[in-house]
Amino acid sequence: MSNFPFSFSVSKIRFKRLTHVEQRNLRLGLLFVSPWLIGFLLWTLVPIASSLYFSFTRYTVLQPPTFIGLRNYINLASDEQYLLVVKNTLWWVILAAPGGVLSAYLIANLLNTKIVFRPLFRALFFFPSIVPAIVTTTVWLFLLNLQWGAFNSVLKALGMQTIPFISNPDWVKPTIIGIHIWAQGGAMVIFLAALQDVPRELYEAATVDGASGWSKFWHVTIPMTSPVILFNLVLAFIAAFQQFDLPWLLTQGGPNKATEFYAVYLYRTAFLDLRMGKAAAMAWILFVVILIFTFILFRTSRRWVYYGGGDQ
């Protein structure tokens, strides 16, 4: 422990005086990390602390904040618009997050087999994840347009009725989920790496024991890749709670507030209505919900996540 600026005793921590060389090394170390420390302080820590303070104020940016205590949080509980947004968001989290992970996992398993043009298919499935959201949304707006969209043009040519994919509240949510599931290239690549790391000996042993393809998938593939499933699932749920770009660029929360998700409503409240105090309170509620949800997910994962080292 002599290399550290303090040493431990049984009953207390006993600090020692730094030598000249240790002081110089400390100054040099702080100097080298100072750009990160300054950036973290100015652009992360201060905004977080400020948002916590603003959540207890009435703040419109144009006027100084006025402290109102817990009123922002209390008012949210009776805000019908906010409750609708929470309902929409929970619907999205429950369906879109596991649906996206499931689709990415199944596609990764398919592309991990020896199929023709496998590199081409891998590139095609990964491509949507590297294209900017504004580009993909513009393409989907063209494809889904009720009057001249490609999908509805095909339906018209077949003599079928057109479908209002993004202009009908009953159709817009399934449509957005479909687009979300389509753009799972990043998770797919992570799953591919995990699948290729599964020991071949396990499959060979299962084959010798007469296991079917489904048995090998259920008893070998899934347990051996369960830590990566958990990883992608956590990221998917966190991203689902903060979903913004797709509903905003595609429908801006419509039609009839059907895609007014939490992040969309938070953005509208903060930057369009200039109700920064209410928006800050919403942001902190979202942070606590994500924290609790992630904790529960990790706690329940002990029952189904398998680690090769034996620790579960």
In this prediction, residues 19-32 reach a mean pLDDT of 90
Spatial CA neighbour of 106 closest among 215, 229, 263, 223: 229
The pLDDT value given to residue 12 = 54
- Whole-angstrom CA distances from 303 to 122, 198, 227, 264 are 32, 20, 12, 35
Is pLDDT above 80 for 190? yes
What does the DSSP 8-state code read for residue 159?
T
Residue 71 · residue 281 · CB < 8 Å: no
Provide the whole-model pTM.
0.86
Residue 278 · residue 72 · CB < 8 Å: yes
Q: In which band, very low, low, confident or very high, does the pLDDT at 278 lie, cut at 50, 70 and 90? A: very high
In this prediction, residues 205-212 reach a mean pLDDT of 92
The pLDDT value given to residue 259 = 95
252 sits in the region (left: phi over 0; alpha: psi -120 to 50; else beta) called left
In this prediction, residues 191-214 reach a mean pLDDT of 93
What is the number of other CB atoms lying within 10 angstroms of the CB of residue 219? 13
Q: In which band, very low, low, confident or very high, does the pLDDT at 19 lie, cut at 50, 70 and 90? A: confident
The pLDDT value given to residue 13 = 54
Q: In which band, very low, low, confident or very high, does the pLDDT at 309 lie, cut at 50, 70 and 90? A: low
304 sits in the region (left: phi over 0; alpha: psi -120 to 50; else beta) called alpha
The pLDDT value given to residue 228 = 96
Residue 267 · residue 248 · CB < 8 Å: yes
The pLDDT value given to residue 114 = 87
What is the number of other CB atoms lying within 10 angstroms of the CB of residue 287? 14
The pLDDT value given to residue 300 = 93
The pLDDT value given to residue 17 = 83
The pLDDT value given to residue 281 = 97
Domain ranges of the chain: 18-43, 72-303
Share of the chain above pLDDT 70, in %: 93
In this prediction, residues 70-81 reach a mean pLDDT of 95
In this prediction, residues 39-64 reach a mean pLDDT of 94
- How far is 221 from 158, CA to CA, in rounded Å? 42
CATH assignment of 72-303? Answer: 1.10.3720.10
2 vs 74, which has greater pLDDT? Answer: 74
pLDDT in tens, 141-177: 999 998 889 999 999 999 999 999 999 999 999 999 9
In this prediction, residues 288-304 reach a mean pLDDT of 94
Q: In which band, very low, low, confident or very high, does the pLDDT at 7 lie, cut at 50, 70 and 90? A: very low
Is pLDDT above 70 for 117? yes
Residue for token digits 């817009």? 172
Across 12-40, b (16+ Cβ under 10 Å) vs e yields: eeeeeeeeeeeeeeeeeeeeeeeeeeeee
In this prediction, residues 258-263 reach a mean pLDDT of 96
Residue 73 · residue 285 · CB < 8 Å: yes
The pLDDT value given to residue 6 = 45
- How far is 118 from 33, CA to CA, in rounded Å? 45
Please list the alpha-helical segments (H only) found in 18-117: 20-40, 46-54, 71-77, 80-111
Q: What average pLDDT is seen over the chain?
A: 91
Spatial CA neighbour of 169 closest among 246, 259, 240, 92: 259
The pLDDT value given to residue 50 = 95
Is pLDDT above 70 for 232? yes
The pLDDT value given to residue 1 = 43
Share of the chain above pLDDT 90, in %: 82
